[in-house]
Amino acid sequence: MKIRDVMTSDVETCHPDTDLATVVRMMWDRDCGFIPVIDATGLLRGVVTDRDICIASATRRVLPEYMSAHQAMTHPVHACVPDDEVADALRAMKQYKVRRMPVIDSNGAVKGVISMNDIVLASQQGLGPDAKDIVATLAAICVHRTLTPEAPPAPGKPAVV
């Protein structure tokens, strides 16, 4: 099965200078947690997730309306094309530990998004991959990172906040 068969093609995008409060509103209006960031020519430059916004706001202690998508976006981005197989998208999601990937054309313009939701719903209808492949992908995505404590600042140097 091809990605074009299950992807969401009606997606909202934003620009690097879009403020995060606007991005949050887009997510709310679209019932999603992922917005591709495109440049002035329409090419993919990054993605912003609801988690990116929460972490950026909390760690910088700045309200979302005062931060841009560029300040919180993930880049570079792992993407796929509509002709890729859904099984290949699952492998990439598993490898990169992501639940969603932008779908782009050969020039880098956003054509849609493929998400675990899309894949699960296709599988439920008998169209998508086997449930065990979906569960294996989710299990790999859900493994917690091992965090290493940061080294304390050198004597006389302030800690970076």
Give the pLDDT score at 149: 64
Confidence of residue 159 (pLDDT cuts 50, 70, 90): very low
- pTM (2 d.p.): 0.84
Give the pLDDT score at 151: 52
Count H helices, E strands: the chain? 6, 4
Q: What are the pLDDT digits (tens) for 51-105?
A: 999 999 999 999 999 999 999 999 999 999 999 999 999 999 999 999 999 999 9
Fold assignment, 3-142: CBS-domain (3.10.580)
Tokens at 57, concatenated: 């706001």
Q: Which residues contact 41 (CB under 8 A, 6 or more apart)?
A: none
Confidence of residue 143 (pLDDT cuts 50, 70, 90): confident
Please check whether residue 112 is in contact with residue 47, taking contact to mean a CB–CB distance below 8 angstroms.
Answer: no
How many C-beta atoms surround the C-beta of residue 34 within 10 A? 23
Give the pLDDT score at 85: 95
pLDDT at 18 over 60: yes
Q: Which residues contact 71 (CB under 8 A, 6 or more apart)?
A: 20, 56, 60
pLDDT at 127 over 80: no
Confidence of residue 154 (pLDDT cuts 50, 70, 90): very low
How many C-beta atoms surround the C-beta of residue 149 within 10 A? 5
